[in-house]
Chains A and B, each alone.
Chain A
Amino acid sequence: MKSVCFGIGQTIAVLSFAVLTSSPVQAGLFNPEVFELENGLQVVVLEDHRAPVVTQMVWYKVGAADEPVGKSGIAHFLEHLMFKGTTNAPGNTFSQTVAASGGRENAFTSHDFTGYYQTLAAANLEQVMKLEADRMTNLTLSEKDIVAERNVVMEERRSRTENKPSALLGEQTAAAQFLTTPYRIPVVGWAHEIQQLNREDAFAFYRQYYAPNNAILVIAGDVLTADVKKLANKYYGVIPRGDVTLRNWPQEPPQLSPRRVELRDQRVQQPSWRRSYLAPGSFDAKKHLAEPLDLLAQILGGGTTSRMYQALVVEQKIATSAGSWFSGDSVGPARFGLYARPVAGGDLATVEKSMDAEIEKIISGGVSEAELNRAKAGMLALATYARDSVTRKARIFGRALVIGQTVEGVETWPQRVEAVTRQQVQDAAKEVLDLRRSVTGLLLPEKKS
């Protein structure tokens, strides 16, 4: 499932980023400073002087969807290998340096991007800028590192996916949804392909995509833009441009018929139901549907007051959860998703019928003014709450710029949400919630023989 990012030490759900990405405030509230180095590195500075803390993030415009055929998992594997040291900072010098100032670090990979970050005392910023710039070009890898880390990634795949039947269904439904878009392949990679990944694959990918003109640097916290400019030029500015090939993913053909995936697993005790519809991504001709779809997801299934929760969980008592999500910030096509879990002993057919009825109702009857206003209020408030966390602000801008959105796009997001009408939400529902463009996934226990 695209919404899951794989990090070296922890998961970062892009789904949760997505909500936040769509949560900046009136122009001037975040006050980002943006500039570009001569070698093409884009830099964003977000000054915040509440505490003497700083976050550095480097986002590369490369992810799992850029992998060569048969090399699935290489983007994420490389993310792990980036912690193995360089000629100048061998072994885990980088991690030791971060730890030596009490700092935190991690990394994440999605289909669209790969990112690295450290949060630490502002006084140590120069050191980590030096080290992060260093590993943009000077990575070294021993055969021993490769073998051990490949096993780590296999264990990561086992714990996140193979031990969890619902995650296996997630992989199968994504693969069924996309015929040609590389989102059909899981970010972590298919097990049999991960096992074949080697040092040459990692270096080839690294050399092809890790370059200043393919990256965004975000520095947020107790810093001055002028100082960041100086340091960025000193450490990142000396790295030559790379010869980066532009993305050229095959275009997803129109989906003409509904698809169904049924996964039975002896470990399942609690069946569940899910569906996703192909939806416009950030660069689709219909990208103007993004904000109406965000609001639709909220009204239809965003919480306990939503249509689906009220109908299936409260009134009909056939489910214990029911809802919807939308994650429109993507380079390729996006998905609009639904999920529901029946009550103990309940069946999926009943749940599916009721979910369909709610879809039908919103397509034919639209949404009320009160529903729309409530959804807007919640989304706009996130913008204010987002200002509370330095790292969150850094993520919002990194995530937006790395997939090709603009600072202005981020800053004017509240106005776009504010402007959405009831008619637009209904039209978006009609346009996107078309069964012919859906994949329905059923998770079931094994049949008793």
Chain B
Amino acid sequence: MKKIQLVSSLFVALAFFSGPAFATDISEMRTPAGLDVWYVQEKSIPILSVEISFPRGSVHEPDGLGGLANMVSSTLDEGAGDLNALAFQTRLEELAISMSFGSSKDTFRVSLKTLSKNRDEAFRLLGLALQSPRFDQKAVERIRRQIQTRLIGQAEDANAIAAKAWFKKTYGDHPYGRPSLGTKQSIARITPADLKAWVDANFRLDGILIGAVGDVDQAEIGRLLDIALAALPKAQVTPEVSKIMPSSAGSTIVIRKPNPQSVVMFGMPGIMRDDPDYYAAYVMNYVLGGGGFTSRLYQEVREKRGLAYSVYSYLYPYEHSAIYLGGLGTANERVVESLDVVKAEISKLAEQGITDEELVKAKVFLNGSFPLRLDSNAKIARMLVAIRISDLGMGYIDQRPGFINAVTVEDVRRVARRLLRSGAMTWVIVGDPAGIDG
């Protein structure tokens, strides 16, 4: 009975993912000012969602100013043009406009969501924030205090401590090893002039990527985007970031904290997004510790032994490097056992790969779940930009099932042998683990 159920649902899922509703509705358009936009018109709800990405992130920060990109993202909506911080925020609230900014290692993200009836003002305000942010001294000082408090908070948080140590060990002094929030020293140093300089140097139209979903037609979305963006300078200064291989020296770092539960983070060099074996690695990760309640780590660590509430692994390809990360949280007395189980699973996968049945299930899940993730306009806009960041092309949504279905057991075996080298793994344990030195 179990078998029959699975087979029939496989069939349904295969039929389903071949036609996600929006896939054929993406149009590539150009605004009057010449900006390339991927747009989906969705008329049923009177809202607009826009996602914008600049190809600049914390890796492009000047030396000594770590945390600058994040500080820009926290300060852009603190007053712009003739509106001070309170006036700007009040205007957003009155019109229920949601505007947010965020920096990652490689990119700077802008999200805007508005009721259609307020769209002109929403895009005008976004234009002000991007083109003429004020960075008033008082607002900057306030944001600085908030970041300083967050840094103190991170020093209490086992997960944050583990991540910081792991990245430092893996990337050393390369910008990828830098904490994205910055440090106490760098945050103290950043001036309003630094924030302004970042904006001037990096909010450029070359390399900008835009995705939009909304209930207006193409001409209208083009007009609105130009209000917010057309006045930005065009030419992009190519920033220098060296490609870097994560450290593969392999080590175990123990950071003692008086917590009842140890947080364990492990990782190793990963695989770049444009690597021919990327999809094989993607399938491999799903089987090892990817989403859902069916992965090997979930079964072995949580389901059978009750060692952890959360256990996971994921691929993290950056622009200039790639890592493969995992983690779990377990009682101090059970850290040794947990590490043994995880290590055994990783070795087993490296030596034996995955089974035919696992491959089929992984493909069905990875293909079937993709359109399900896109259950709101904002998520679709974000996905459009993600596809553009990885340069996967307009046809990606239609091609993706083919890429995943092409993966063979042998591909996974090959990529598992390549990635899962126990000697290359860095382990960080934060807590008071029993039976482990350090």
Contact B145 A344 (CB under 8 A): yes
Contact A92 B293 (CB under 8 A): yes
Asked whether B396 is an interface residue with its Cβ less than 8 Å from the other chain, the reply is no
Contact B156 A268 (CB under 8 A): yes
Asked whether B336 is an interface residue with its Cβ less than 8 Å from the other chain, the reply is no
Bound together, the chains give a CA A103 to CA B368 distance in angstroms of 7
Collect the chain B residues with CB atoms within 8 Å of residue A341's CB.
Answer: 149
Interface residues in B142-168 by Cβ distance below 8 A to A read 142, 145-146, 148-149, 152-153, 155-156, 158
Asked whether A93 is an interface residue with its Cβ less than 8 Å from the other chain, the reply is yes
Bound together, the chains give a CA A88 to CA B5 distance in angstroms of 12
Collect the chain A residues with CB atoms within 8 Å of residue B307's CB.
Answer: 151, 155
A89 to chain B, nearest CB (A): 7
Bound together, the chains give a CA A50 to CA B42 distance in angstroms of 9
Asked whether A409 is an interface residue with its Cβ less than 8 Å from the other chain, the reply is no
Chain B: CB-nearest residue to A270: B152
Bound together, the chains give a CA A162 to CA B331 distance in angstroms of 11
Asked whether B185 is an interface residue with its Cβ less than 8 Å from the other chain, the reply is no
Collect the chain B residues with CB atoms within 8 Å of residue A173's CB.
Answer: none
Binds B, one of A63-71, A225-233, A281-289, A312-320: A312-320
Asked whether A149 is an interface residue with its Cβ less than 8 Å from the other chain, the reply is yes
Asked whether A257 is an interface residue with its Cβ less than 8 Å from the other chain, the reply is no
Bound together, the chains give a CA A149 to CA B148 distance in angstroms of 39
Bound together, the chains give a CA A355 to CA B401 distance in angstroms of 55
From the candidates A100, A270, A313, A373, name the one contacting B6 in the complex (CB within 8 A): A100
Binds A, one of B64-72, B230-238, B252-260: B252-260
Collect the chain B residues with CB atoms within 8 Å of residue A388's CB.
Answer: 45, 47, 376-378
Chain B 356-392 per-residue mask, 1 if CB under 8 angstroms from chain A, else 0 = 0000010011111111101111100000000000000
Interface residues in B327-355 by Cβ distance below 8 A to A read 329-331
Collect the chain A residues with CB atoms within 8 Å of residue B378's CB.
Answer: 388
Collect the chain B residues with CB atoms within 8 Å of residue A97's CB.
Answer: 5-6, 9
Collect the chain B residues with CB atoms within 8 Å of residue A120's CB.
Answer: 368, 372
Chain A: CB-nearest residue to B291: A104
Contact B306 A377 (CB under 8 A): no
Interface residues in A82-139 by Cβ distance below 8 A to B read 83, 88-90, 92-93, 95-105, 119-121, 123-124, 127
Interface residues in A251-302 by Cβ distance below 8 A to B read 266-270
Chain B 24-50 per-residue mask, 1 if CB under 8 angstroms from chain A, else 0 = 000000000000000000101111000
Collect the chain B residues with CB atoms within 8 Å of residue A361's CB.
Answer: none
Bound together, the chains give a CA A321 to CA B143 distance in angstroms of 11
Collect the chain A residues with CB atoms within 8 Å of residue B115's CB.
Answer: 381, 384
Collect the chain A residues with CB atoms within 8 Å of residue B417's CB.
Answer: none
Asked whether A378 is an interface residue with its Cβ less than 8 Å from the other chain, the reply is yes
From the candidates A89, A124, A317, name the one contacting B2 in the complex (CB within 8 A): A89
Q: A103-B369, A127-B5, A381-B96 are in contact. Are A269 and B142 (CB under 8 A)?
A: no
Contact A320 B15 (CB under 8 A): no
Contact B22 A51 (CB under 8 A): yes
Binds A, one of B86-94, B221-229, B406-414: B86-94
Asked whether A159 is an interface residue with its Cβ less than 8 Å from the other chain, the reply is yes
A409 to chain B, nearest CB (A): 23
B193 to chain A, nearest CB (A): 22
Q: A163-B259, A303-B93, A304-B89 are in contact. Are A95 and B292 (CB under 8 A)?
A: yes
Chain B: CB-nearest residue to A84: B303
Collect the chain B residues with CB atoms within 8 Å of residue A416's CB.
Answer: none
In this complex, how many residues of chain B approach chain A with their Cβ under 8 Å: the count is 79
B14 to chain A, nearest CB (A): 9
Contact B96 A52 (CB under 8 A): no
Collect the chain B residues with CB atoms within 8 Å of residue A314's CB.
Answer: 85-86, 138, 142
Collect the chain A residues with CB atoms within 8 Å of residue B329's CB.
Answer: 155, 158-159, 163
B381 to chain A, nearest CB (A): 11
From the candidates B22, B86, B153, B158, name the one contacting A310 in the complex (CB within 8 A): B86
Asked whether A53 is an interface residue with its Cβ less than 8 Å from the other chain, the reply is yes
In this complex, how many residues of chain A approach chain B with their Cβ under 8 Å: the count is 75
Contact A159 B309 (CB under 8 A): yes
Interface residues in A1-60 by Cβ distance below 8 A to B read 8-9, 50-53
Collect the chain B residues with CB atoms within 8 Å of residue A395's CB.
Answer: none
Contact A100 B9 (CB under 8 A): yes
Contact B13 A100 (CB under 8 A): yes
Asked whether B12 is an interface residue with its Cβ less than 8 Å from the other chain, the reply is yes
Bound together, the chains give a CA A217 to CA B407 distance in angstroms of 39
From the candidates B294, B306, B364, name the one contacting A148 in the complex (CB within 8 A): B306
A370 to chain B, nearest CB (A): 9
Chain B: CB-nearest residue to A105: B293
Bound together, the chains give a CA A9 to CA B294 distance in angstroms of 12
Bound together, the chains give a CA A343 to CA B145 distance in angstroms of 7
B366 to chain A, nearest CB (A): 7
From the candidates A51, A124, A148, A268, name the one contacting B375 in the complex (CB within 8 A): A51
Asked whether A374 is an interface residue with its Cβ less than 8 Å from the other chain, the reply is yes
Asked whether B16 is an interface residue with its Cβ less than 8 Å from the other chain, the reply is yes
From the candidates B1, B12, B259, B261, name the one contacting A123 in the complex (CB within 8 A): B12
Contact A384 B9 (CB under 8 A): no
From the candidates B8, B17, B294, name the one contacting A92 in the complex (CB within 8 A): B294
Chain B: CB-nearest residue to A150: B306
Contact B372 A159 (CB under 8 A): no
Asked whether B95 is an interface residue with its Cβ less than 8 Å from the other chain, the reply is yes
Collect the chain B residues with CB atoms within 8 Å of residue A317's CB.
Answer: 141-142, 145
A438 to chain B, nearest CB (A): 25
Asked whether A305 is an interface residue with its Cβ less than 8 Å from the other chain, the reply is yes
Contact B13 A53 (CB under 8 A): no
Bound together, the chains give a CA A27 to CA B148 distance in angstroms of 47
7 closest A-B pairs by CB: A102-B368, A151-B306, A381-B96, A148-B306, A102-B369, A158-B261, A156-B309
Give 25 CB contacts A-B under 8 Å. Answer: A9-B310, A51-B20, A52-B19, A90-B2, A92-B294, A95-B293, A100-B368, A102-B366, A104-B292, A119-B372, A121-B16, A154-B331, A155-B306, A159-B263, A159-B329, A162-B261, A267-B156, A267-B257, A267-B259, A310-B86, A343-B145, A377-B95, A377-B96, A378-B93, A390-B375
- Known pairs A103-B368, A267-B259, A380-B96; list 5 more (Cβ under 8 Å): A100-B368, A121-B16, A150-B306, A267-B257, A314-B85
Q: Chain A residues in contact with chain B, CB under 8 A?
A: 8-9, 50-53, 83, 88-90, 92-93, 95-105, 119-121, 123-124, 127, 147-156, 158-159, 162-163, 165, 266-270, 303-305, 310, 313-314, 317, 320-321, 341, 343-344, 373-374, 377-378, 380-382, 384-385, 387-391
Q: Chain B residues in contact with chain A, CB under 8 A?
A: 1-2, 5-6, 8-10, 12-13, 15-17, 19-22, 42, 44-47, 85-86, 89-90, 93-96, 113, 115, 138, 141-142, 145-146, 148-149, 152-153, 155-156, 158, 257-261, 263, 292-294, 302-310, 329-331, 361, 364-372, 374-378
